[in-house]
Amino acid sequence: MRATFNSQFRDAQVSLEAASERLVEYQTQVASGKRVNKASDDPSAASAAVKQRAELAGIEQYQRTADSVTARLTVIDTALSDIVDKLTAAQTAVVSAQGSGKTTAQRDAAARQIESVRAALVDDFNLSFNGTYVFAGSASTTPPFPVDGTGAISGYNGTTTEVEVDVSDESSVTVGLDGSAIAQGSAASDVFAVLTDLASAARSGDAAALSTGFADLQDAFSRATAAQGRVGVGMNTVEGQQSRMTQLKVAGAAQLSRLEDADLSKAITGMSHADAAYQAAMGAIGAATKRSLMDYIG
211 binds another protein (CB under 8 A): no
94 binds another protein (CB under 8 A): no
Kindly write out the interface string for residues 153-192 of this chain, putting x where it contacts another protein by CB under 8 A and - elsewhere.
Answer: ------x-x-xxxx--x--x--xx----------------
Strands (E), the chain: 128-129, 132-133, 163-166, 172-176
Kindly write out the interface string for residues 117-156 of this chain, putting x where it contacts another protein by CB under 8 A and - elsewhere.
Answer: -------------xxxx--xxxxxxx--------------
Cα–Cα distance, 141 to 154 (Å, whole number): 17
The helix (run of H) or strand (run of E) holding residue 133 is strand 132-133
**What residue type is 1 in one-letter code?**
M
Q: Which residues pair with 164 in a beta bridge?
A: 174
- Asked if 180 and 236 count as a contact pair (C-beta separation under 8 A), the reply is no
CA distances from residue 275 to 23, 28, 33, 283, 285 in whole angstroms, order as listed: 6, 13, 18, 12, 16
Stretch in the footprint of another protein (CB under 8 A) among 40-48, 104-112, 119-127, 277-285: 40-48
SS3 102: coil
Stretch in the footprint of another protein (CB under 8 A) among 45-53, 78-86, 108-116, 200-208: 45-53
106 binds another protein (CB under 8 A): no
Closest-CA residue to 166 (of 66, 34, 55): 66
Residue 38: other Cβ atoms inside 10 A: 10
246 binds another protein (CB under 8 A): no
- Asked if 189 and 168 count as a contact pair (C-beta separation under 8 A), the reply is no
33 binds another protein (CB under 8 A): no
84 binds another protein (CB under 8 A): no
Q: What share of the chain is helix, strand, coil (3-state, %, to 5)?
A: 70, 5, 25
Pick 169 or 263: Cβ nearer another protein: 169
User: Least distance (Å) from another protein to the CB of residue 210?
Assistant: 38
**What residue type is 191 in one-letter code?**
V
Q: Which of 16, 19, 23, 49 is close enough to bind another protein by CB under 8 A?
A: 49
Pick 83 or 173: Cβ nearer another protein: 173
Q: Provide the binding-site residues for another protein, judged by CB under 8 A.
A: 1-7, 10-11, 14, 36-44, 46-51, 53-55, 57-58, 61-62, 64-65, 68-69, 130-133, 136-142, 159, 161, 163-166, 169, 172, 175-176, 260, 292-294, 296-297
